[in-house]
Structure 1
Amino acid sequence: MAPYTHQIQVGWGDCDPARIAYTARLPWFALEAINGWWADALGEQAGWYHMELDRGTGTPFVSMSMDFRAPVTPRHVLECACWPTRLGTTSISFRVEGRQDETLCFEGEFTCVFVDSPTFTKAPPPDDIRALVEARIPG
Protein backbone atom coordinates (compact mmCIF):
# COMPACT_ATOMS: atom_id res chain seq x y z
CA MET A 1 0.00 0.00 0.00
CA ALA A 2 1.35 3.44 -0.95
CA PRO A 3 2.09 5.86 1.90
CA TYR A 4 -0.53 8.45 2.72
CA THR A 5 0.58 11.89 1.50
CA HIS A 6 -0.53 14.99 3.35
CA GLN A 7 -0.08 18.32 1.58
CA ILE A 8 0.70 21.48 3.51
CA GLN A 9 0.89 24.99 2.10
CA VAL A 10 3.67 26.55 4.14
CA GLY A 11 2.86 30.20 4.82
CA TRP A 12 4.83 33.35 5.45
CA GLY A 13 3.87 33.16 9.14
CA ASP A 14 5.51 29.72 9.39
CA CYS A 15 8.89 31.27 8.58
CA ASP A 16 11.66 33.04 10.47
CA PRO A 17 13.71 36.09 9.40
CA ALA A 18 15.93 33.78 7.30
CA ARG A 19 12.79 33.07 5.20
CA ILE A 20 12.70 29.35 6.01
CA ALA A 21 10.23 27.50 8.21
CA TYR A 22 10.84 27.81 11.94
CA THR A 23 12.44 24.63 13.25
CA ALA A 24 9.52 24.12 15.65
CA ARG A 25 7.06 24.09 12.72
CA LEU A 26 8.63 20.93 11.22
CA PRO A 27 7.44 18.56 13.98
CA TRP A 28 4.08 20.36 13.79
CA PHE A 29 3.89 19.58 10.06
CA ALA A 30 4.84 15.94 10.71
CA LEU A 31 2.17 15.57 13.41
CA GLU A 32 -0.38 17.18 11.10
CA ALA A 33 0.50 14.48 8.54
CA ILE A 34 0.06 11.71 11.13
CA ASN A 35 -3.32 13.16 12.11
CA GLY A 36 -4.21 13.17 8.40
CA TRP A 37 -3.13 9.53 8.16
CA TRP A 38 -5.48 8.60 11.00
CA ALA A 39 -8.35 10.56 9.44
CA ASP A 40 -7.77 8.86 6.09
CA ALA A 41 -7.37 5.36 7.60
CA LEU A 42 -10.44 5.68 9.83
CA GLY A 43 -12.54 7.44 7.20
CA GLU A 44 -13.17 10.31 9.61
CA GLN A 45 -12.19 13.91 8.95
CA ALA A 46 -11.32 14.57 12.57
CA GLY A 47 -8.41 12.10 13.02
CA TRP A 48 -7.18 12.20 16.61
CA TYR A 49 -10.17 14.25 17.72
CA HIS A 50 -12.53 11.50 16.53
CA MET A 51 -10.39 8.76 18.10
CA GLU A 52 -10.13 10.52 21.45
CA LEU A 53 -13.64 11.86 21.89
CA ASP A 54 -15.82 9.48 19.89
CA ARG A 55 -13.90 6.22 20.23
CA GLY A 56 -12.26 6.69 23.66
CA THR A 57 -8.81 5.83 22.30
CA GLY A 58 -5.88 8.20 22.67
CA THR A 59 -2.39 7.96 21.22
CA PRO A 60 -0.04 10.34 23.09
CA PHE A 61 3.53 10.50 21.82
CA VAL A 62 6.33 8.84 23.76
CA SER A 63 9.15 9.41 21.27
CA MET A 64 10.00 11.72 18.36
CA SER A 65 13.16 11.78 16.30
CA MET A 66 13.75 14.00 13.25
CA ASP A 67 16.56 14.70 10.83
CA PHE A 68 16.55 17.91 8.81
CA ARG A 69 17.87 17.64 5.25
CA ALA A 70 16.89 20.83 3.38
CA PRO A 71 15.07 24.08 4.22
CA VAL A 72 11.28 24.24 4.07
CA THR A 73 9.91 27.43 2.50
CA PRO A 74 6.58 28.79 1.25
CA ARG A 75 7.90 28.41 -2.32
CA HIS A 76 6.47 24.88 -2.84
CA VAL A 77 3.78 22.69 -1.32
CA LEU A 78 5.19 20.50 1.44
CA GLU A 79 4.26 16.89 0.75
CA CYS A 80 4.50 14.71 3.85
CA ALA A 81 4.47 10.98 3.15
CA CYS A 82 3.35 9.12 6.25
CA TRP A 83 2.97 5.46 7.11
CA PRO A 84 3.04 3.15 10.13
CA THR A 85 6.27 1.20 10.53
CA ARG A 86 5.54 -0.87 13.62
CA LEU A 87 2.59 -1.92 15.73
CA GLY A 88 3.29 -3.31 19.17
CA THR A 89 0.92 -4.58 21.82
CA THR A 90 0.22 -1.02 23.04
CA SER A 91 2.24 1.25 20.73
CA ILE A 92 2.48 2.38 17.12
CA SER A 93 5.38 3.97 15.24
CA PHE A 94 5.16 6.16 12.16
CA ARG A 95 7.64 7.42 9.60
CA VAL A 96 7.13 10.83 8.04
CA GLU A 97 9.15 12.18 5.11
CA GLY A 98 8.61 15.82 4.12
CA ARG A 99 9.47 16.86 0.57
CA GLN A 100 9.23 20.06 -1.42
CA ASP A 101 9.72 20.03 -5.19
CA GLU A 102 10.91 16.38 -4.86
CA THR A 103 13.68 17.35 -2.39
CA LEU A 104 13.73 15.54 0.96
CA CYS A 105 13.50 18.29 3.59
CA PHE A 106 13.03 16.23 6.76
CA GLU A 107 12.39 12.71 7.92
CA GLY A 108 11.33 11.39 11.27
CA GLU A 109 10.19 8.52 13.43
CA PHE A 110 7.31 9.03 15.84
CA THR A 111 6.02 6.56 18.44
CA CYS A 112 2.72 6.77 20.31
CA VAL A 113 1.20 4.60 22.99
CA PHE A 114 -2.47 3.63 22.90
CA VAL A 115 -4.45 4.70 25.95
CA ASP A 116 -7.99 4.38 27.16
CA SER A 117 -8.99 8.06 27.06
CA PRO A 118 -11.33 8.19 30.08
CA THR A 119 -8.73 6.65 32.43
CA PHE A 120 -5.56 7.66 30.52
CA THR A 121 -4.15 4.17 31.06
CA LYS A 122 -2.14 2.20 28.54
CA ALA A 123 -4.28 -0.20 26.51
CA PRO A 124 -4.02 -2.33 23.39
CA PRO A 125 -5.46 -0.81 20.22
CA PRO A 126 -9.07 -1.78 19.46
CA ASP A 127 -9.25 -4.78 17.12
CA ASP A 128 -10.50 -2.74 14.14
CA ILE A 129 -7.66 -0.24 14.53
CA ARG A 130 -5.13 -3.06 14.85
CA ALA A 131 -6.44 -4.60 11.61
CA LEU A 132 -6.34 -1.35 9.63
CA VAL A 133 -2.83 -0.51 10.85
CA GLU A 134 -1.48 -4.01 10.14
CA ALA A 135 -2.84 -3.76 6.59
CA ARG A 136 -0.87 -0.52 6.07
CA ILE A 137 2.55 -1.52 7.44
CA PRO A 138 4.86 -2.09 4.47
CA GLY A 139 6.45 -5.45 3.78
Structure 2
Amino acid sequence: MSDKFRHEIRVTWGDCDPAKIAYTARLPWFALDAINAWWEAHLGGDGWYQLELDRNIGTPFVHMSMDFRSPVTPRHRLICEVWPKRLGDKSITFRVDGRQDGMLCFEGTFTCVFIIADQFKSQSAPPELRAVIAPHICDI
Protein backbone atom coordinates (compact mmCIF):
# COMPACT_ATOMS: atom_id res chain seq x y z
CA MET A 1 0.00 0.00 0.00
CA SER A 2 1.10 3.53 -0.67
CA ASP A 3 1.13 6.11 2.10
CA LYS A 4 -2.10 6.41 4.05
CA PHE A 5 -4.27 9.28 2.93
CA ARG A 6 -4.41 12.06 5.51
CA HIS A 7 -7.26 14.52 5.90
CA GLU A 8 -6.95 17.48 8.25
CA ILE A 9 -9.97 18.71 10.19
CA ARG A 10 -10.17 21.94 12.15
CA VAL A 11 -12.11 21.11 15.30
CA THR A 12 -13.88 24.22 16.58
CA TRP A 13 -15.57 25.43 19.74
CA GLY A 14 -18.94 24.65 18.12
CA ASP A 15 -17.97 20.96 17.83
CA CYS A 16 -17.61 20.67 21.61
CA ASP A 17 -19.84 19.88 24.57
CA PRO A 18 -19.81 21.41 28.08
CA ALA A 19 -16.96 19.03 29.01
CA LYS A 20 -14.83 20.98 26.48
CA ILE A 21 -14.28 17.95 24.21
CA ALA A 22 -15.83 17.13 20.84
CA TYR A 23 -19.40 15.84 21.00
CA THR A 24 -19.40 12.07 20.56
CA ALA A 25 -21.66 12.41 17.51
CA ARG A 26 -19.09 14.64 15.78
CA LEU A 27 -16.48 11.86 15.69
CA PRO A 28 -18.30 9.72 13.09
CA TRP A 29 -18.96 12.93 11.15
CA PHE A 30 -15.22 13.67 11.13
CA ALA A 31 -14.49 10.12 9.93
CA LEU A 32 -17.09 10.31 7.16
CA ASP A 33 -15.71 13.68 6.07
CA ALA A 34 -12.28 12.05 5.82
CA ILE A 35 -13.65 9.13 3.76
CA ASN A 36 -15.33 11.58 1.38
CA ALA A 37 -11.99 13.41 1.07
CA TRP A 38 -10.35 10.04 0.22
CA TRP A 39 -12.84 9.56 -2.62
CA GLU A 40 -12.24 13.12 -3.85
CA ALA A 41 -8.46 12.66 -3.80
CA HIS A 42 -8.62 9.35 -5.67
CA LEU A 43 -11.41 10.12 -8.14
CA GLY A 44 -10.14 13.44 -9.45
CA GLY A 45 -12.29 15.61 -7.21
CA ASP A 46 -15.43 13.45 -7.22
CA GLY A 47 -16.79 12.58 -3.79
CA TRP A 48 -20.03 10.97 -2.68
CA TYR A 49 -22.13 13.75 -4.20
CA GLN A 50 -20.68 13.25 -7.68
CA LEU A 51 -20.70 9.45 -7.36
CA GLU A 52 -24.41 9.54 -6.58
CA LEU A 53 -25.59 12.24 -8.98
CA ASP A 54 -23.13 12.08 -11.88
CA ARG A 55 -22.14 8.41 -11.92
CA ASN A 56 -25.36 6.88 -10.48
CA ILE A 57 -23.30 4.97 -7.91
CA GLY A 58 -24.54 4.99 -4.33
CA THR A 59 -22.56 3.77 -1.33
CA PRO A 60 -24.90 3.57 1.67
CA PHE A 61 -23.38 2.46 4.95
CA VAL A 62 -24.28 -0.93 6.37
CA HIS A 63 -21.87 -0.95 9.31
CA MET A 64 -19.86 1.48 11.43
CA SER A 65 -17.66 0.65 14.39
CA MET A 66 -15.53 3.06 16.41
CA ASP A 67 -13.28 2.84 19.43
CA PHE A 68 -12.51 6.03 21.34
CA ARG A 69 -9.00 6.33 22.77
CA SER A 70 -8.45 9.96 23.72
CA PRO A 71 -10.62 13.10 23.73
CA VAL A 72 -10.76 15.30 20.62
CA THR A 73 -10.51 19.03 21.36
CA PRO A 74 -10.01 22.27 19.40
CA ARG A 75 -6.45 22.50 20.75
CA HIS A 76 -4.86 20.71 17.74
CA ARG A 77 -5.81 19.83 14.20
CA LEU A 78 -7.43 16.42 13.87
CA ILE A 79 -5.56 14.34 11.32
CA CYS A 80 -7.62 11.46 9.97
CA GLU A 81 -5.71 8.68 8.23
CA VAL A 82 -7.96 6.84 5.79
CA TRP A 83 -7.49 3.72 3.73
CA PRO A 84 -9.62 0.97 2.24
CA LYS A 85 -9.22 -2.12 4.40
CA ARG A 86 -11.30 -4.54 2.36
CA LEU A 87 -12.95 -4.59 -1.04
CA GLY A 88 -15.60 -7.25 -1.48
CA ASP A 89 -17.68 -7.96 -4.55
CA LYS A 90 -20.41 -5.52 -3.47
CA SER A 91 -18.89 -3.67 -0.52
CA ILE A 92 -15.95 -1.63 0.67
CA THR A 93 -14.67 -1.22 4.22
CA PHE A 94 -12.63 1.85 5.12
CA ARG A 95 -10.44 2.26 8.17
CA VAL A 96 -10.11 5.70 9.74
CA ASP A 97 -7.67 6.58 12.53
CA GLY A 98 -8.04 10.05 14.04
CA ARG A 99 -5.03 11.63 15.74
CA GLN A 100 -4.32 14.91 17.44
CA ASP A 101 -0.79 16.00 18.31
CA GLY A 102 0.41 12.46 17.51
CA MET A 103 -2.06 10.79 19.93
CA LEU A 104 -4.60 8.26 18.67
CA CYS A 105 -8.05 9.64 19.52
CA PHE A 106 -10.28 7.19 17.69
CA GLU A 107 -10.18 4.34 15.22
CA GLY A 108 -13.01 2.90 13.24
CA THR A 109 -14.19 0.79 10.37
CA PHE A 110 -16.93 1.88 8.01
CA THR A 111 -18.55 -0.47 5.49
CA CYS A 112 -20.56 0.67 2.48
CA VAL A 113 -22.31 -1.32 -0.21
CA PHE A 114 -22.42 -0.36 -3.86
CA ILE A 115 -25.82 0.34 -5.35
CA ILE A 116 -27.33 1.68 -8.56
CA ALA A 117 -28.35 4.98 -7.01
CA ASP A 118 -31.55 5.76 -8.90
CA GLN A 119 -32.84 2.22 -8.34
CA PHE A 120 -31.47 1.66 -4.84
CA LYS A 121 -30.46 -1.76 -6.11
CA SER A 122 -27.33 -3.68 -5.10
CA GLN A 123 -24.50 -3.92 -7.60
CA SER A 124 -20.95 -5.22 -7.76
CA ALA A 125 -18.21 -2.66 -7.28
CA PRO A 126 -17.96 -0.92 -10.66
CA PRO A 127 -14.74 -1.87 -12.47
CA GLU A 128 -13.57 1.76 -12.69
CA LEU A 129 -13.86 2.11 -8.90
CA ARG A 130 -12.32 -1.30 -8.25
CA ALA A 131 -9.27 -0.21 -10.31
CA VAL A 132 -8.87 2.90 -8.13
CA ILE A 133 -9.48 1.17 -4.79
CA ALA A 134 -7.55 -2.10 -5.17
CA PRO A 135 -4.00 -0.64 -5.11
CA HIS A 136 -4.73 1.03 -1.76
CA ILE A 137 -6.12 -1.97 0.15
CA CYS A 138 -4.30 -2.56 3.43
CA ASP A 139 -5.64 -4.83 6.15
CA ILE A 140 -4.01 -3.49 9.31
Query: Which residue does the alignment assign to 1:12?
Result: 13
For normalisation by structure 2, the TM-score amounts to 0.96
Query: Which residue does the alignment assign to 2:56?
Result: 56
Query: Which residue does the alignment assign to 2:34?
Result: 33
SS of equivalent residue, structure 2 residue 93 = strand
Measured against aligned partners, the alpha-carbon deviations of 1:56-87 in whole angstroms (never above 9, x if no partner) come to 00100000000000000000000000000000
Give the CA RMSD over aligned residues: 0.9
* Letter paired with 1:40: A
SS of equivalent residue, structure 1 residue 27 = helix
Query: Which residue does the alignment assign to 1:21?
Result: 22
Counterpart-to-counterpart distance in 2, 1:85 and 1:17: 35
Query: Which residue does the alignment assign to 1:83?
Result: 83
Question: Contact conserved, 2:86 with 2:138, CA < 8 A, in 1?
Answer: no
* Percent identical residues: 61
Measured against aligned partners, the alpha-carbon deviations of 1:68-115 in whole angstroms (never above 9, x if no partner) come to 000000000000000000000100000000000000000001100000
Counterpart-to-counterpart distance in 1, 2:73 and 2:128: 38
- How far off is 1:138 after superposition? 2.5
* Letter paired with 1:34: I
Residue 93 of structure 2 corresponds to residue 109 of structure 1 = no
Counterpart-to-counterpart distance in 2, 1:55 and 1:2: 27
Residues paired across the two proteins, number: 138
Task: Write out the 4+ residue segments of structure 1 that deviate beyond 2 Å after TM superposition.
Answer: none
For normalisation by structure 1, the TM-score amounts to 0.97
SS of equivalent residue, structure 1 residue 129 = helix
Show structure 2 runs of 5+ residues with no match: none
Counterpart-to-counterpart distance in 2, 1:59 and 1:32: 14
Counterpart-to-counterpart distance in 1, 2:24 and 2:15: 9
Q: Name the stretch that deviates more: 119-128 or 89-98.
A: 119-128
